Structure 1
């Protein structure tokens, strides 16, 4: 079983002419950066879900009203998964193109990632402001009692 798997994943060695080795190693580092970014988003989504679980146990502990953290956690996990998938696809397409002596800049991937990060930051800001407003209204209600 393991021998069969390694035979499927085996790659023929390439001649190191010009900058082939350097380019492939740079591509591997770029893939690892995409994977690290994606895993960071996924970890943040899981942590946010755990905060939401604590709020369900004791809502007074976190004083959250009209909680959208489940949606935010899902968006983060989904974005992280897409980031890892894009990095994997990009790595293999870059490897194929480098073998052919070509290279294509990653304009769509970088643009999509930047737009996703801006969207998540904007949604996070709205979530924080919404929860902060909820805490202030709870404090006002408790002060009038």
Structure 2
């Protein structure tokens, strides 16, 4: 089948599926009904009734995904919480807020990035055209041992 023939076939299939009059209790949509009808006709089964309409008689042993669900099917599921594996929105929001509380946005090579607040300093900014009076500047990770030694040396001097 050439590409043009395949396109024409698919367009015909879609147009014919749109012509289906689907009952409210019908399990399948128009496209599925059209495909099933064409498969039945290929196997030699006549699917057109006296009024000229195609019929969608379905077998009794439908696959699970095609069966109509009733309220009886959900009685056992009432005790089971759906989406238990997902974190609650409140818990996720708290985690995000806790993460953001320790970090600030800095400009690095013209791009905004998140850094730990302890690695940044506030720097005054020219705000004649508006905007905040200061901005965060990243000074890099600090050597804690070096800071402690300097603090002890200053303490011992005084």
Fold match (TM-score > 0.5): no
Larger Rg: 2
- Greater relative contact order (CA < 8 Å, ≥ 6 in sequence): 1
| Class of the TM-score when normalised by the shorter of the 2 chains | under 0.3
TM-score, normalised via structure 1 length: 0.24
- Structure with the higher strand share, 1 or 2: 2
TM-score, normalised via structure 2 length: 0.22
